[in-house]
Amino acid sequence: MSEQDLAKDLGPLAALTIGVGTMIGAGIFVLPRQAITQAGSFAVVSFLLGGGIALLTALSASELGTAMPRSGGAYYYVNHALGPLFGSIAGWANWLGLAFASAFYMFGFGQYIGNIVGMPDAFVLGPFVVSSVKLVALAGAALFVAVNYVGAKETGRLQNVIVVLLVAILAVFTVFGALEAETANLPPSEGFGPMLTTTGIIFVSYLGFVQITSVAEEIKDPGRNLPRAVIGSVLLVTVIYALVLVAMSAAVDPGFIASLADDEIAVVEVAGLLMGPIGAAALLFGGLLATASSANASILASSRINFAMGRDNIVTPSLNEIHPRFSTPYRSIAVTGLLILAFIAAGTVEALATMGSVLHLIIYGLLNVALIVMREADPADYDPDFEVPLYPFTPILGMLTSFALIAFISEVIIALSVALVAGAVLWYFLYARSRTDKQGILGQYVLSRADEMPDAAVSAASGVQPDGGDYRVVVPLANPETETDLISLGAAAAKANGGRVVALHIVQVPDQTNLGYARDNLDEFTDAAESEQLLADAKTDAEDFGVPVETHTILSHRSFAEVFDAAETHGADMLVMGWGGDSHGSPGRAESAVDEVAGDLPYDVLVMKDRGFDPSRIVLPTAGGPDTDLGAAVARYLRDQYGSEVTLLHVADDREEGEAFLAEWAADRDLADAEMRVETGDVEAAIATAAADATMLVVGATERGLLRRLVSGSLVLDVIDQVECSVVLAEKERSKSVIERLLG
């Protein structure tokens, strides 16, 4: 078997059971009683209608899934098609919707446990009275979250067994029901209004199919198996729901369901009546398995959604850190777990079910819109194996019915959902927009046809575009003498990446002085005119390169350490700073801060020992490694900007091997036109010799922690002080940010 086959190990049955397993737990084991009491004989219609709406969206989800079999499913498609504003809505709705649904499943789980064990109605915990169902639900949720936190590959496979078992139990149940069914038993219908309201509540039974798409990348032959699993699971559960509902309403006396005591579970009592105690036990057991497997699959699916959101920087990628021992996305699972526990503690069965329904209906509506956008914009790489029949009617109907069903859900829940959507929109503008760089197909489509499109659409599209894609080179300035040189270096990097320069002047303010006071009385702390002049010069210099530039004066009690904070605050992709003398205040005092930064660098760093900016002849020593890659990039930027002659230097034991390595290394980094120089012997001596007739030496940090050693004066490369040209030290970013380390 190839690696690909091993990575994609979900066969058609496994994919189907993810959908069926997530859906069946909720629907049939918890909700029939409510449905029958509220809608009468139309309860069956409610389930059929819910299935119909789900099916329309399942078709769209299948097409999108075969075109983009990526982790994250629905969120990914919406974000990809409609852009990160809607992506933010879909991601949050999907994540929270799954948490609400899981809380609801756990309520069901609590009812089943209560029914088996027999418990008092409520417990008194200090000042609180907690119903026993809630208590078991909380314990159950904690258990399933813990299992997934630690991770057990067995749970995944267990799901298949559970689902097959459930379908078998329910099949037997419906056969018995059919034998006893009499139309005379059917309760009267309660009319269309209650039927639609009921559909809104029971729609939580149809959330599972979209979870299949969130593991689409793991499905074998997704072009074939994904649509089968998605559509098949909706059809299968719809049929099962309808048959069970028919059995429950037609096989027992009309008043039977309504006459049950509060702690009795309708489906279990009916089974007891039809099949005796064994039947009741089977259904009890089934209910336990079903609610548990639904919750389990939902927790796993939500970590995929978190991952996809983090990859697009809609949430912080640190949420998706993998546990070093368990290999699980433990933070994501823990946060989802806390949400589930909070929702159980705060909610009621009905509120949780309808919250889960509404949030998913929003996603389903957006999914259909995403499909229409993909079809209309028709990007070159959009090539689905499965196509929605009767386009555009199917997705339009899917969108309308999904959004319309929301209207029949209670106003409080709608208000809460609207608040969550508004929250997601705010989240996009306040948090995600400056970080994400992914532009939706819709935005690209509208903006690329700006002339033909209505002005309102164009301005709306450009108004919500992400700006995280902007490559930002932060250049802190202190010394007017080196300003032009630093800006020249920074501008070359910015230009090569289509980005901008952010010039900062950091003014140190004594600890005892309030920063607000300092801002109003800037002259007391620095020569304000000089500061202004420094930034103005920087602006002119950068503009000479045709690079956009912004300037900021930053007041801080610290000076050196502030450089790193400011770089982080200004979303730096690269930090260009001077070194030596008094470039940035007294480094000695800032060592601890640098310690913090140097362990993990959230951006690339270039440190220039400035002996005059002359990039005409550059020497770049290399032994491979990511920092030298950054050095290579810098050499390339300068070559492209200034036509620099680049000399690559490699020190090897064996000259021939060294030459082979260097030639390949250079070719991979678009530096094949550089002069290759392979030396043997002492590295530092070789660098010194090569640098003798160069104007600039670009050195990748050979080890991590360059910055720390630079500041503490323990940098081993004495050669940097010996050479006479300017030296640029390059240290590549490492993914963890300061925030991530605080959380970790």
Partner 1 sequence: MGDLLDRVVLPFASEDDARATCDAVLPYIVDAGGEVVAVHVIEKAGGGIDKAGVEQREAYAEDIFTVVSDACADAGVTCETAVVFATDVADGVFDAARDHDASAVAFTPRQGNRWLDLLIGDNTRDLVKGADLPVVAFPRVDGDDVAADDQATGEGGSDE
Of 3 and 455, the one with the shorter C-beta distance to partner 1 is 3
Q: Which stretch binds partner 1 (CB under 8 A): 158-166, 336-344, 552-560, 706-714?
A: 158-166
Number of residues that bind partner 1 (CB under 8 A): 51
624 binds partner 1 (CB under 8 A): yes
Q: Note whether 423 binds partner 1 by CB under 8 A.
A: no
300 binds partner 1, rule: CB under 8 A: yes
Tell me how far apart the alpha carbons of residues 412 and 410 are, in angstroms, rounded to a whole number. 6
Helix, strand, coil % over all residues of the chain, rounded to 5: 65, 10, 25
328 binds partner 1 (CB under 8 A): yes
Cβ 188 to partner 1 shortest distance, Å:
43
CA dist., res. 651 & res. 649, Å (int): 7
Nearer to partner 1, 159 or 556 (CB): 159
Residue 153 CB partners (closer than 8 Å, separation 6+): none
Residue ranges in 210-239 that form contacts with partner 1 under rule CB under 8 A: 215, 217-218
* Contact by Cβ (8 Å): 168, 68: no
Q: Is the CB of residue 202 less than 8 Å from the CB of residue 31?
A: yes
Answer yes or no whether residue 7 interacts with partner 1 by CB under 8 A: yes
The region, left, alpha or beta by phi > 0 then psi within -120 to 50, assigned to residue 571 is left
Min. distance of Cβ 329 from partner 1 in angstroms?
5
Residue 255 near partner 1 by CB under 8 A:
no
Residue 611 is classified by DSSP as S
Cβ atoms 101, 298 nearer than 8 A: yes
9 near partner 1, rule: CB under 8 A: yes
Q: What are phi and psi of 370, to 5 degrees?
A: -60, -40
Please, which of residues 587-606 interact with partner 1 by CB under 8 A?
Answer: none
Residues 117-156 touching partner 1, rule: CB under 8 A, are 148, 150-156
CB of 468 to partner 1, least distance (A): 18
Helix (H) or strand (E) segment spanning residue 131:
strand 128-131
The answer to the question of residue 12 lying near partner 1 (CB under 8 A) is no
Which span (33-41, 198-206, 297-305, 490-498) binds partner 1, by CB under 8 A?
297-305
- Measured from the CB atom, is 72 or 232 closer to partner 1? 72
Piece of 175-183, 318-326, 521-529, 586-594 that binds partner 1 (CB under 8 A): 318-326
Nearer to partner 1, 3 or 381 (CB): 3
Among the listed residues 509, 403, 20, the one whose alpha carbon sits nearest the alpha carbon of residue 238: 20
The answer to whether 421 touches 361, Cβ cutoff 8 Å, is: no
Say how many CA atoms lie within 13 Å of 368 toward its Cβ.
25
Contact of 406 with 361, CB cutoff 8 Å:
yes
Q: Does 735 sit near partner 1 (CB under 8 A)?
A: yes
* Shortest CB 158 distance to partner 1, Å: 7
Q: Which is nearer to partner 1, 160 or 357 (CB)?
A: 160
- Of the residues 254, 423, 571, 625, which one makes contact with partner 1 according to CB under 8 A: 625
**Phi–psi pair at 484, nearest 5 degrees:** -60, -40
**C-alpha span between 505 and 501 (Å, rounded):** 13
Write the DSSP symbol of residue 700.
E
Residue 714 binding partner 1, by CB under 8 A: no
Phi and psi, residue 511, nearest 5°: -50, -40
Element (H, E) at 576: strand 574-578
By CB under 8 A, which span of 376-384, 428-436, 473-481, 701-709 interacts with partner 1?
A: 701-709
| Cβ–Cβ < 8 Å for 311, 75 | no
Q: Which of 80, 311, 500, 650 binds partner 1 (CB under 8 A)?
A: 311
Nearer to partner 1 among residue 323 and residue 558 (C-beta): 323
Closer residue to partner 1 (CB): 379 or 599: 599
Are residues 133 and 111 in contact, defined by beta-carbon separation less than 8 angstroms? yes
Residues near partner 1 (CB under 8 A) are: 3, 6-11, 14, 18, 70-72, 148, 150-160, 215, 217-218, 297, 300-301, 303-304, 307, 311, 320, 322, 324-329, 623-626, 702-704, 734-735
